[in-house]
Amino acid sequence: MTATPPPYAGLHHRVEGPPGAPVLILGPSLGTSTALWDAVAPELSATHRIVRWDLPGHGGSPASLIGPGATVADLARLVRDLADALGADRFSYAGVSLGGAVGLHLAAHRPQRVERLAVLCSSAHFGPAANWTDRAAAVRREGLAALAETAPARWFTPGFTVPRLVDDHRRADPAAYAACCDALAAFDLRDRLSSITAPTLLVAGREDPATPPAHLREIADAVPGATLTEIPGASHLAPAERPEAVLAALRGHFTDGGAKRGMEVRRQVLGDAHVDRAQAGQTAFTAPFQDFIARYAWGEIWTDPTLSRRERSLVTLTALVARGHLDELAMHVRAARGNGLTPEEIGAVLLQTAVYCGVPAANAAFAVAQRVLAEEAPPGTAPAD
């Protein structure tokens, strides 16, 4: 008899997105919670299984998970434990500030776990250790009320704030917050940056006083192949202040350029010959549309694991008959065969369209499908009447 594993009792986390989609873990900044990603995570969950986590003593995570003298390695271990509990042997990761430092540590020390990495408003070294040890001591003495009052000035550009995040700061456990300060004081990954192999994106808030663009530039210069994006009008918590710009950067990075993965799927479904013809006919005028098709139709919709490719072919054939797109129908009859549909199943789909789309539409569709299926019939085989 197999023993039931004990329930996971580590970091509080929130999971959203299709169960079979690639996992993308989102890490928070010191003093915040999963709410930091509220304006970004729902959009990313269209293509990824999003896992947001809270630092110890923040949001819903127990303060007891870390203590005085904690390190970023300790936090990274908690994230690995979370990934293990979710069955994610490999995952992509994006983190802000301290959450970004956790991502850097994971990519440098556990490269086999990290598929792709994004580091936002963070650093490989957060300045003089005394700044953080002094803050830790003050928080242990006085609590977080006074520090929370200054949070908007440290986190956002003048005139902007997110009350929910400031409240999270105020409600954090002082001992756990101080332990996170200890981790920041001890963190210095500058000598390991060149060992990071995961495709890496650095995102800097151009108005960030805590980790100005120069900090992200230092990482970008050291990590092989890394890219850097600076966001105007953003301070330290860029996902909250400029979510649209952050979303655009992350979506492009974590979909592997979206278009690349989409082109792979497009070739698998439609065949190399068709895609090669489409590519050969591409012009400067049609290129944006081709990119759109590759990125969204093939890179997001056809890769969504909620429906199988067989099921997507059934839906696509019906939609094309309904709208009378017969040229596209011929292409997708071939694709349906490649996706495992039999001629009998294709015929059943078209017969059903006669009921719901109309007899003339189905009649035209049967003519197209019969021609396509006859093309693939063995020599000497007569097509059905």
Residues 235, 83: Cα–Cα separation, whole Å:
30
Taking only the tens place, the pLDDT of each residue in 36-74 is 999 999 989 988 999 999 999 999 999 999 999 999 999
Residue 57 in contact with residue 15, Cβ under 8 Å? no
* Window from 37-46, 150-159, 195-204, 259-268 with minimum mean pLDDT: 259-268
> What is the structure's pLDDT at 383?
34
- Count other Cβ atoms within 10 Å, centred on residue 8: 12
What's the mean pLDDT when you consider all of the chain?
A: 91
Taking only the tens place, the pLDDT of each residue in 232-277 is 999 999 999 999 999 989 988 997 555 667 788 888 998 888 888 8
End-to-end CA distance of the chain: 59
Taking only the tens place, the pLDDT of each residue in 95-105 is 999 999 999 99
Residue with tokens 């969204």: 296
Whether the predicted model's global pTM rises above the 0.85 cut: no
- DSSP secondary structure of 3-51: PPPPPP-SS-EEEES-TTSPEEEEEPPTT--GGGGTTTHHHHTTTSEEE
- Count other Cβ atoms within 10 Å, centred on residue 67: 14
Is pLDDT above 70 for 379? no
Residues 228, 219: Cα–Cα separation, whole Å:
9
- DSSP secondary structure of 57-79: TSTTS-GGG--TT--HHHHHHHH
- Percent of the chain whose pLDDT exceeds 70: 94
Of 374, 381, 310, 308, nearest to 348 by C-alpha is: 310
Quick one: residue 68, left, alpha or beta (phi over 0 = left, psi -120 to 50 = alpha)?
Answer: beta
> What is the structure's pLDDT at 384?
35
> What is the structure's pLDDT at 255?
76
Would you call 321 exposed, middle or buried from its count of C-beta atoms within 10 A (0-12, 13-18, 19+)? buried
Residue type, 147: L
